[in-house]
Amino acid sequence: MSNSNAIPTVDLSPFFTTGDDEGKKKAKDLIHQACSTYGFFQVVNHGVPLELMNRAMQVSKTFFELPDEEKLKSSPASGAPLPAGYNKQHEDSGDRNEYLLMFPPASNFNVLPSSPPEFKKEAEELFSSFVKTGQLLEAIVAECLGLPSDFLKKFSDDRNCDFMVALRYFLATDDDSNGLSEHEDGNIITLVLQDEVGGLEVRKNGEWIPVTPTQGTLVVNLGDVVQVLSNDKYKSATHRVITTKGKNRYSYAFFYNLDGEKWVEPLPEFTTLIGELPKYRRFLFKDYQALRMRNKTHPPSRPEDVIHITHYSIPT
């Protein structure tokens, strides 16, 4: 792998101290470069305790090793914008994984299994830590865009729409090594905690670049909301997961999200105020969520018919 295609790792420790302005500038420069080109980077010293990440990963592995009849007892919660609880990807979707989806508030964590008994506690603690890291990153990303540090916080001040997914990717077969097909995330920012198996890849400069797992590191990628708000100044990361022969892959993905009733459109700071035309038309976020969900529940027969954020592009 060439240095130009390496996934940068950013040290966030300067943001937890006072006075390290040089460290903050270095971190923001790295994040700005990554977000401008492909929307993907990794972070260390991010505030999520290593011991918590290890415990949460272990209870996830214990859960997914249970028989299907036990896992299916974690029934979906009603009223959630996505099907919370335990689900398994159908083979016809092209993806080979199973997952447990969790929403706040804590009452919705009742979809979590009674076995292992510590799952609920670890999941709630991990969720809470991810929220704090997401709040830090949204402030940093806003500053990197030249916006006030609290801009995204004010734009997306309802944390009840965030959600977290524990995943297990099945073993690769001779015919299929696709754990999660290539896509972009529709939200603001995604955090990923992956185990040592690897398989996560990001597309950069037309190549698929592996995101090598490192203990204590979190993967960060931008979603479609930031790409639209910035009028393509920042990119929503295209990524996928490739499964490994002989090994299951375990991970957590946390989606720092947006209220469905929010309208999304390019900001004037990146359009009228600098003499640029908007590249996207205005849309209601829940409408885009519904289109993305249809991609999953009724996968199009042709890849080109899958809905992406380009659905809202303004022709030039």
The pLDDT score that the predictor gives to residue 86 is 87
Contact between 218 and 191 (Cβ < 8 Å): yes
Q: How confident is the model at residue 172 (pLDDT cuts 50, 70, 90)?
A: confident
**64-78, 267-281, 283-297: least confident range:** 64-78
Average the pLDDT over 143-153 and give the result: 97
Contact between 120 and 109 (Cβ < 8 Å): yes
Strands (E) located in the chain:
9-11, 40-44, 85-88, 97-102, 163-169, 178-183, 189-194, 200-204, 207-210, 218-222, 239-242, 249-256, 263-264, 283-284
The pLDDT score that the predictor gives to residue 40 is 95
What is the reported pTM? 0.92
Average the pLDDT over 141-163 and give the result: 94
The dihedrals phi and psi of 280, each to the nearest 5 degrees, come to -135, 145
The pLDDT score that the predictor gives to residue 93 is 55
CA atoms within 13 A on the CB side of 54: 6
> Is residue 218 classed exposed, middle or buried when 0-12, 13-18 and 19+ CB atoms within 10 A define those classes?
buried
The string over 73-85, giving b where at least 16 C-beta atoms fall within 10 Å of a residue's C-beta and e elsewhere, is ebeebeebebebb
Q: How confident is the model at residue 108 (pLDDT cuts 50, 70, 90)?
A: low
Average the pLDDT over 61-89 and give the result: 77
Identify which has the larger pLDDT, 296 or 212. 212
Residues 6+ apart with CB under 8 A from 189: 134, 137, 138, 141, 220, 221, 222, 223, 226, 256
Task: Write down all domains in the chain, each with its CATH number in brackets.
Answer: 3-261 (2.60.120.330)
Q: How confident is the model at residue 176 (pLDDT cuts 50, 70, 90)?
A: low
Instruction: Provide the sign of the torsion angle of the four alpha carbons 153, 223, 206, 43, taken in this order.
Output: positive
User: β-pairing, 40-44 with 9-11?
Assistant: parallel
Mean pLDDT of the chain: 89
Model pLDDT for residues 195-234, shown as the tens digit of each residue: 999 899 999 988 999 999 999 999 999 999 999 999 999 9
Model pLDDT for residues 124-147, shown as the tens digit of each residue: 999 999 999 999 999 999 999 999
The pLDDT score that the predictor gives to residue 133 is 98
